Chains A and B, each alone.
Chain A
Amino acid sequence: MNFVKELQVIAKHFDVLYVEDNEALRTKAKTLLEKFFGSVATASDGQIGLEMFKNRHYPIVITDIKMPHMDGLTLSAHIKKIQPETKIIIMSAFDDKELLFKGIELGIFRFLTKPVNITEFTEVLYKAIGEIKHEQNTKMFYSYLKNIFNYQSSMVVMLHEKDMVLANDIFLEFFGFECINECKKSLRDIGEHFLEHDGFLYNKDIDAVMTLISNPQKLFHIKMKAKDESLHHFILKYQTIPEKEGYGILSFDDVTELNLLELFDAKQSKEDTKATNTKAVYNLLGVIQRNSAKVDIHNYYKGLSITNSGIITEVKEESILLKTSYIQLKSIQLEEKTYICSSALPQVILANEVVKISFEKQELELKLLSFVNTSPIDRATIRVVPTQKQSVSLFLGENKFHGDIEIEDISLDGVRLKLGALPAGLDRESEIRLDMVLELDKKPLIINTSAKMLRKSESKHSFSIVFLFEDLKKSTLVKYITKRQMELIREIKGMQNG
């Protein structure tokens, strides 16, 4: 690379101070430097050089070491104190290690040994200016950024990997910090300040900041304590900065006034207030839609959990439109309802009516939306619907039940039976014996166990009763349930393939 030409282009707008006691050298160097720099000032010793620097902060200072009144290293130490960014280039006839170490300590930009080779000299100057420009750009970038940050009406923080780089004044004010450095020192892991709350993001399974970084654009709820000890509820989003790898912006939307905190924590709020909260449902779904955040849509196909993400395309007065995968649409069509989950929602939303489904557009419209306290998503055990090749006999004490009976679903812990009538005398204390025959690998699978009734419900023409197994050897049933799951996966995937 020809640094002479390059230097002529970039050094024009820079000034330089040259300190040298040897007059002949000084004059020669001045002539050379003037070919590149906007202006060149010279001084004949360190003392004079320092006075000149005090009057004008030159971005580049070139100095000799041994000089009368003040040597080059002392001069450098003073300059670094006044203006640490100054690029100091030392030229010395001595190849002294001790001087070199001192220079490194002071943050000297480069050492050059006299007599200086022009190519090397121009290269060092070129690099010094390059670095100054880079520092100026960074400074400018941060000052612009700070302006943009402070223009925001909500709290904004810039992260590099997991570390805080910048925070706006509102953020600093929230925690009561004077400046960003104080904030950085105290808030090493910002995730530690996200307080525990049901359904909120905090350092739980995986550290919160890592979760944020791995889920850009996703909305999270967090709770933080302000300097006045008041609790605030925020909706938090992490956005990556294009072309700035590892950098991202956290934006905090303070939604404390919506009074949703109670709603999130099931223990603190009552069932009825939630039920009437349909307005909140639509408002929140609106927030999700505006942020183009994804939701999880959940259904069961014969007990098999089917979950896919979906995007809300429109929130109407009493219904919503959303797009999701073919398999999900198919399961919604079969189940005639669906559950919507998102970390931005305090609870799961049940959509109890499907208005229309378009497989072509992969879109559907749902209505009768409400928050639900218990949803099948929280199911502790996996339940599957067995094939039609099943039979079951129920004995209440010595008496066999003779009415219509079939297995609705079965898990490792129990079974739900559909009965045409209620066996006389059946209650929670009754000694029940169940003889079931299922099919596993085309062979009959016989399950005999005693059981206790857990709960019963009644519909128009039948009863649905859940029995818990008492003395069942589980290993065969594990095989049955896992095989059945596999069959069901094939079944539902088969629907997709036509």
Chain B
Amino acid sequence: MDNKYKILYDDGDRKYVMFSFDDETHEESFLSVNQYLIIENGEGLLIDPGSESIFDELYEGISELIEVSQIKYIFLSHQDPDVSGSIAQWAVTTQAKFLMSGLWVRFMSHYGFSEMSRVVQIPDKGAKLTLGSHTIRFIPAHFLHSPGNFSLYDVKSKILFSGDIGAAVVSSLGGEKKVREFEEHIKALEGFHKRYMGSNKLCRAWVQRVEKLDVRKIAPQHGYVFEDENVVKFLEWFKELACGSDFLEELY
């Protein structure tokens, strides 16, 4: 990959970096995977670092920006392997604290992780965290799709790191990784969201929380970043989305 990372925001004091290392081997159904890093004063918060198979690449990519040992927090939006699969590797290479829903702490041993004292459990209703001079909020996103799931909102950059919400099935190769035409992009969103998200009621609850925040960008864990008017369009679309249990009869 030529461009190891893309800068989402940089005001001199803080830098928000997007990596896109893929671990998919099925050429027909590429699901591009994004990892994010917030850097302030040489210290980092890593968001959804991904699976074990991309650990080496991501480690190398981060090393070009900061000392990996300076990662203070690692946020895991939920328990999936493409989000948390490398937890044991990060536990060995950093002294970071792991922020996640309490629902998944015990499951982490399946990824070879047993440092329970390094886990900070995020309460169901969310919490805030101070990183250097800025505030980060954890927004409940339960059942969208994981039962214990959070989005991360950064007050300074106004970026909402949304995990699987807003994820799109798109090719990971090249490109600027930004949604151009929302209406066109819906095709890549629809299938995934209809099947993976819990129900429209949950979508609405999440949108209601998010609408109270000043969001400039939505950065999902798969696919492209939503910017400016596409943020509004996405929220409108997601609020009206019938999904999951809304199609109960088709599923059972």
- Seen from chain A, the residues whose Cβ lies within 8 Å of a Cβ on chain B are 203, 205-207, 210-211, 213-214, 296, 298, 304-307, 341, 377, 380-382, 412, 474-475, 478, 481-483, 485-486, 489, 493
Is B116 close to A, CB under 8 A? yes
B56 on the A face (CB < 8 A)? yes
A205-B129, A474-B93 given as contacts; is B88 within 8 A of A486 (CB)? yes
A307 to B121, CA, bound (A): 15
**Considering the chains assembled together, what is the distance between the CA atoms of A412 and B123 in angstroms?**
33
Give the nearest-CB partner of A483 in chain B: B112
Q: A residues within 8 A CB of B92?
A: 381-382, 412, 478, 481-482, 485
7 extra interface residue pairs, beta carbon distance < 8 Å, beyond A210-B128, A307-B117, A485-B92: A205-B120, A207-B127, A213-B123, A305-B117, A412-B93, A489-B109, A493-B109
Query: When chains A and B are docked, how far (Å) is the Cα of A210 from the Cα of B97?
Result: 18
Pair A485/B116 contact, Cβ less than 8 Å: no
- Select one of B59, B115, B129 contacting A305, CB under 8 A: B115
**Nearest residue in B to A492 (C-beta to C-beta)?**
B114
| A-B interface, 8 closest residue pairs, ranked by CB to CB distance from nearest | A214-B123, A486-B112, A307-B116, A482-B88, A206-B127, A485-B112, A210-B127, A305-B114
Chain B neighbourhood of A203, CB < 8 A: 130
Q: Are B93 and A489 in contact (CB under 8 A)?
A: no
A483: chain B residues within 8 A (beta carbon): 112
- Judge whether B171 is part of the interface by a CB distance below 8 angstroms: no
- In the complex, whether B172 has a CB less than 8 A from a CB of chain A is no
Q: Which of B97, B102, B114, B130 is packed against the most chain A CB atoms within 10 Å?
A: B114
Residue of B nearest to A304 (CB): B114
Contact B112 A382 (CB under 8 A): no
- Would you call B245 an interface residue if the criterion is a C-beta within 8 Å of the partner chain's C-beta atoms? no
Most A Cβ at <10 Å: residue of B52, B91, B95, B112: B112
Taken together as a complex, chains A and B put the C-alpha atoms of A489 and B114 apart, in Å, by: 8
Which one of B112, B120, B125 contacts A482 once the chains associate, using CB atoms below 8 Å?
A: B112
Distance in angstroms between the alpha carbons of A306 and B109 in the assembled complex = 10
Query: Is B189 positioned at the interface, with any CB of A under 8 Å from its CB?
Result: no
| Docked CA distance A478–B97 (Å) | 18
Rounded to whole angstroms, the CA-CA distance of A205 and B124 in the bound complex is 16
Inter-chain CA distance A421–B125, complex, in Å, is 58
* Cα(A214)–Cα(B101), bound, Å: 12
With both beta carbons as reference points, the residue of chain B lying nearest to A296 in the complex is identified as B117
Q: How many B residues, CB 8 Å from partner?
A: 29
**What are 15 A-B residue pairs whose CB atoms fall within 8 Å in the complex?**
A205-B129, A206-B123, A206-B127, A211-B123, A214-B102, A214-B121, A214-B123, A306-B114, A341-B117, A382-B91, A382-B115, A474-B93, A478-B89, A489-B109, A489-B112
How far is it, in angstroms, between the C-alpha of A425 and the C-alpha of B194 when the chains are bound?
Answer: 70
A382 CB → nearest B CB, Å: 5
Q: Give complex CA distance A214, B115 in Å.
A: 21
Interface residues of B in 67-101 (CB under 8 A from A): 88-89, 91-93, 95, 97
Contact of B122 with A by CB under 8 A:
yes
CB–CB B59/A475 < 8 A: yes
Q: Which of B113-153 contact A (CB under 8 A)?
A: 113-117, 120-125, 127-130
Asked whether, in the complex, the Cβ of B117 is within 8 Å of the Cβ of A298, the reply is yes
Partner of A475, one of B56, B91, B122, B130: B56
Contact present for A206 and B120 (CB under 8 Å): yes
Give every chain A residue within 8 A of B59 (Cβ-Cβ). 475, 478
Tell me, in angstroms, the Cα distance from A382 to B130 when the chains sit together.
26
Cβ-closest chain B residue relative to A474? B93
Name the one of A210, A380, A485 contacting B123, with C-beta atoms under 8 angstroms: A210
Distance to closest chain B CB from A494 (angstroms): 13
- Least CB distance from B133 to A in Å reads 15
Which residue of chain A lies nearest to B120 when distances are taken between CB atoms in the complex?
A: A205
Using Cβ atoms and an 8 Å threshold, which residues of chain A touch B114?
304-307, 485, 489
Contacts of B55 in A (CB 8 A): 478
Set of chain A residues within 8 Å of B121, measured between Cβ atoms: 214
Distance from B66 Cβ to chain A, minimum over Cβ atoms (Å): 16
Q: Which residue of B lies closest to A477 (CB)?
A: B92
Query: Known contacts A296-B117, A475-B59; is A482 also within 8 Å of B89 by CB?
Result: yes
